[in-house]
């Protein structure tokens, strides 16, 4: 499957997942400017709806890309990180400080996969399994971020 194939472009978030090193972090990082722009133009509900759309497209693309790669959860698939990162940023202030902490919290929670993210990662297969653990990690990151912002008086 070539780079310009719709499955590749979607699953790798236009190639971010093909960068060397830590593809998940690259995918999350590449999601940030889009989240900023979507939130400024469509508001927090717009970002949440965009995350939902990315989730649906990601279930399809992640399943096809991973199947073609012959892996259960190919590391090049980062559309799941995009959905999770956007959920983590939903309803957060559009601010570089906040975006840094949302990125950090999401990456930590995505890597360590607290329950039930670890269960979703282990039990579900195909696109659902690839996508859902990141949605859960993004939800935990959003809750943690908002609690932290509230605690320091920024919410």
- Other Cβ atoms less than 10 A from the Cβ of 120: the count is 20
The reply to whether 102 falls in a domain is: yes
> Mean per-residue pLDDT for 21-45?
97
Q: What is the number of domains present in the chain?
A: 1
Q: Is position 72 within any domain?
A: yes
Return phi, psi of residue 13, to 5°. Answer: 50, 60
Domain hosting residue 104, numbered range: 8-151
54 occurs within a structural domain: yes
Any domain includes 3: no
Report yes or no on 28 lying in a domain. Answer: yes
Looking at residue 50, what is its pLDDT? 98
* Assigned domain for 71 exists: yes
Of the candidates 48, 5, 32, 150, the residue with the CA atom closest to the CA atom of residue 100: 32
Residue found by looking up tokens 């991973």 in the block: 66
Whole-angstrom CA distances from 139 to 8, 116, 134 are 26, 11, 8
* Residue 55 falls inside a structural domain: yes
Query: Could you check whether the bond before residue 116 is cis, i.e. omega within 30 degrees of 0?
Result: yes
Average pLDDT over residues 65-71: 74
> pLDDT tens, 114-146?
899 788 778 887 888 889 999 999 999 999 999
Answer yes or no: is 107 within a domain. Answer: yes
């Amino acid at each position: 499957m070539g780079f310009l194939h719709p499955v590749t472009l979607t699953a790798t978030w236009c190639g971010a997942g093909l960068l060397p090193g830590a593809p998940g972090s690259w995918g999350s990082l590449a999601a940030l400017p889009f989240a900023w722009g979507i939130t400024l133009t469509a508001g927090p509900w717009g970002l949440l709806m965009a995350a939902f759309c990315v989730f649906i497209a990601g279930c399809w693309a992640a399943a096809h890309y991973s199947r073609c790669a012959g892996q259960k959860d190919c590391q090049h698939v980062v559309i799941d990180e995009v959905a999770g990162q956007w959920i983590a940023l939903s309803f957060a202030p559009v601010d570089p400080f906040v975006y840094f902490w949302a990125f950090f919290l999401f990456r930590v929670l995505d890597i360590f996969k607290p329950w039930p993210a670890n269960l979703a990662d282990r039990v579900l297969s195909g696109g659902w399994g690839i996508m859902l653990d990141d949605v859960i990690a993004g939800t935990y990151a959003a809750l943690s971020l908002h609690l932290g912002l509230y605690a320091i008086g920024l919410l």
